Amino acid sequence: MGRPADLSRERIVAAALALLDERGAPGLTMRGLAARLGVQAASLYHHVRGLDDLVDGMQDSVNDAIDLAPLDADDRSGLEAFARSYRAAYRAHPAAADLVSRRALTAPTALVVYDALAAHLLRRGVAEADVMPVMAALDYVVLGAAGESLAEDVRSTPRDLVAAHPHLARVTAVTDTDAVDDRAFELSLHVVLSAVDDLVSAGAPR
């Protein structure tokens, strides 16, 4: 077994994220993580308080890859660039996208991200009561697009659908499987961005 002195919170979080990528949420356990690091499970608790704290650390690690600078631009392009960076960060760790979407907003960097996003929306003129719904809608689009893939569904769709399901057969036959996930994200993002534009316009002085 490795020496506990070799451990750090950063090393534990990185190993946990790798384990999550490989095995998904069901495969992420403190015992399994300790085995990967070559230590006793008890050694982990000198650096993380438990599984919830570990997940906070993983969320922080992924969130560190999100570029918040575009939110300084008070226009649609800033929000769009932020959303693309947000998706890219979680697209690299799809299991993390699914995991964080089901938990309370507690990770320190998550609070920073949401505060920056709220500030952007408020500066653009989105009403205070509409800010949280907009952020939730953006989360649905970004984390959903990062954690789920339609491409594999399209690849595995039976090819003998013509008789029973002709419309599905028709669209499946012409779907660019490699691009379908990106296209779906772009369509969904467009809807949210357009809704934000409408909210800004509705609140503008007349």
Spatial separation of the C-alpha atoms in residues 21 and 40, rounded to whole Å = 22
**Can you read off the two tokens belonging to residue 126?**
């989105």
Tokens 């991200």 sit at which residue?
A: 113
Predicted pLDDT of residue 2? 47
The answer on pLDDT for 206 being more than 60 is: no
Instruction: Select from 1.25.40.10, 3.40.50.720, 1.10.357.10, 3.40.50.1370 the CATH code of 67-203.
Output: 1.10.357.10
User: Is there a contact between 102 and 129 (Cβ–Cβ < 8 Å)?
Assistant: no
User: Is there a contact between 145 and 87 (Cβ–Cβ < 8 Å)?
Assistant: yes
Query: 6 or 28, which is more confident?
Result: 28
DSSP state of 107: -
pLDDT band at 1 (very low <50, low <70, confident <90, very high): very low
Q: Which residues contact 127 (CB under 8 A, 6 or more apart)?
A: 199, 203
pLDDT band at 5 (very low <50, low <70, confident <90, very high): low
The region that residue 91 occupies, defined by phi over 0 for left and psi between -120 and 50 for alpha, beta otherwise, is: alpha
The answer on pLDDT for 52 being more than 60 is: yes
Query: 194 or 25, which is more confident?
Result: 194
pLDDT band at 141 (very low <50, low <70, confident <90, very high): very high
Query: 128 or 156, which is more confident?
Result: 128
Predicted pLDDT of residue 159? 63
108: closest CA among 145, 64, 77, 72? 64
Q: How much is the pTM?
A: 0.88
The region that residue 38 occupies, defined by phi over 0 for left and psi between -120 and 50 for alpha, beta otherwise, is: left
CATH 3.30.465.10 fits domain 4-48: no
**Can you read off the two tokens belonging to residue 140?**
């649905």
The answer on pLDDT for 45 being more than 80 is: yes
Query: 120 or 177, which is more confident?
Result: 120
Residue-range domain boundaries for the chain = 4-48, 67-203
Predicted pLDDT of residue 80? 97
